Amino acid sequence: METLIVNYFGREKRYAVLRDKQVEKIIIDRPEHQSLVGNIYFGTVTKVLPGMNAAFIDIGEEKNAYLHRDNLSSYILSTEKQKNISSFVHQGEKLLVQVDKDATGTKGPKVTGIIEIQGGNLIYMPKGRYIAVSKKIADEQQNAALRGLGSRLKTEEEGIIFRTSSLNSIEGEIVEELNFLRGQYQELLQKAASLKKSGVIFQKDSFLEMLMEQVSKMTAGEVIIDDLTVKKMLEQKNAHVTFTYHNSLENIFSANKIEHEIEKALKRVVWLDQGAYLIFDETEALTIVDVNTGKFSGKADYQDTVLKTNQLAAKEIVRQLRLRDIGGIVLIDFIDMKREKDKQAILDLFEKELAKDEKRTKLIGFTPLGILQLTRKKTKVALSEALKVKCRVCDGTGRILSAETIAFRLERELLEHRHSEFEAVLIETTKEVKELLQSHLEILEEMLHFKVFFAIQPAPDHHYVLKQFGTVDEISQKAFNFY
């Protein structure tokens, strides 16, 4: 049974995917942290690095983007593949680029010059120069037929990727869509020509797109959502799913116990059912997972206990990778296994569990020291990086919840009290949390139908307390006396 919980009410958009009542995935989208993946920019080359075969591109965002030579359209269309990047691009050059990986840590976004414009049946690449077919189309005859169609339709420079849905469309529909996508590309070129400086020319609503894709993939189950407009939109995507409108003052994530799962996903230690536990240490470059037997002793000999613990850990680790959206290199220190057949059993189990992951993964295997290595495609920041910041008290050796995270939690709790009988509320919080709410306080108060007053309480970590509800006079006086 698959359930999708969608929290669309409020500025922070979120959804959670549950399978058999267990949370498998959480997606969080904030106004200031919206993914740039898929956005198309008119950029300016600021620096060319021949030694790295790469260039840095000013795209009008906070950080310059990174572009490798192999992702330049001029390189793709060239027959001289041995030349370095200086032969294909120069400093000051203007070009269209598309983000395929968000900025993380100190690194800017990664971009490509091979623009992809998505349609229902096709992905159109004006300078792609190749034909591909969705890996989900396994039938060789169908695959060959689509490749033949692509060869007839595209020009030498163009590229086409046939999506799975193209199997259900006739040739005329595909031709019509291709011409429409070509027209969209021409519109992008016209928009870029009108810009005087670097900037975005196409911006995706990545959250809504991910949500629609998630709903369209469901074969059965339930979608629970707190926004009627989006509910009606999603109902058009899938007739096999039950849609329920959450019409309670309590936040939909709290009502369905998802907030608790988010808290657990931010913790370093994850307990398994039998008393064993995992320790997650996340860094910018890689993630290390340590498996410990803890209180789990088992009922067989020691090696059987080790295997059983490692099998429990393997399943939970893959779930946690999805839940925490951990990408990059992952190293797993399992409890030492002496028998080669046990290591193979863990590898087989990982292959099976990773097959459920939507992101591209590569299982490399065990090192001579018994460390399991794998990689998981990273397109955006992990959950911990999105929700936490470095701790100012311990100088970055630990992490605390960010002011943004606390502000959004406060906003959600206030919304649960909307249309109440009182006139005002006094909130004790930090200066940073207050400033984040202050920017849209007027709109928030209109939604709440009561006034919001703050009492600033300096603290090493961000927090809030709803100190008192009452009339405007008494709450404003309390706030005044506090200062």
pTM over 0.85: no
Same domain, 86 and 136: yes
SS3 427: strand
Does some domain include residue 385? no
DSSP string, 328-391: EEEEEEPPP---HHHHHHHHHHHHHHHTT-SS-EEEEEE-TTSEEEEEE---S--HHHHHEEE-
Domain that holds residue 145: 40-202
Same domain, 75 and 155: yes
Residue ending a domain, among 156, 182, 202, is: 202
List strand residue ranges (DSSP E) for 232-275, in order.
242-245, 269-271
Does some domain include residue 198? yes
Same domain, 270 and 255: no
CA distance 462 to 276: 32
Give the model confidence (pLDDT) of 297-327 as tens digits: 555 577 888 898 999 999 999 999 999 999 9
Residue ending a domain, among 243, 260, 277, is: 260
Does some domain include residue 389? no
Judging by DSSP bridges, how do beta strands 131-133 and 159-162 pair with one another?
parallel
Does some domain include residue 414? yes
Same domain, 179 and 99: yes
Same domain, 45 and 176: yes
Give the model confidence (pLDDT) of 267-301 as tens digits: 889 998 778 899 999 887 789 999 987 766 555 57
Does some domain include residue 397? no
Same domain, 94 and 125: yes
Residue 103 has pLDDT above 90, yes or no: no
Same domain, 180 and 71: yes
Does some domain include residue 396? no
CB 278 within 8 A of CB 330: no
CB 291 within 8 A of CB 309: yes
Does some domain include residue 176? yes
Domain count, the chain: 4
Does some domain include residue 387? no
Give the model confidence (pLDDT) of 205-261 as tens digits: 778 888 998 998 898 999 999 999 999 999 988 889 999 999 999 999 999 999 988
Same domain, 49 and 196: yes
CA distance 170 to 391: 57
Same domain, 106 and 177: yes
What is the CATH classification number for the domain harbouring 93? 2.40.50.140
Same domain, 109 and 219: no
Counting DSSP H helices and E strands in the chain, the numbers are 14, 26
Confidence band for 394, pLDDT divided at 50, 70 and 90:
low
What is the CATH classification number for the domain harbouring 416? 3.40.1260.20
Same domain, 288 and 224: no
Residue 397 has pLDDT above 80, yes or no: no
What is the CATH classification number for the domain harbouring 243? 3.30.420.60
Same domain, 49 and 26: no
- Looking at residue 105, its pLDDT comes to 74
Confidence band for 368, pLDDT divided at 50, 70 and 90:
confident
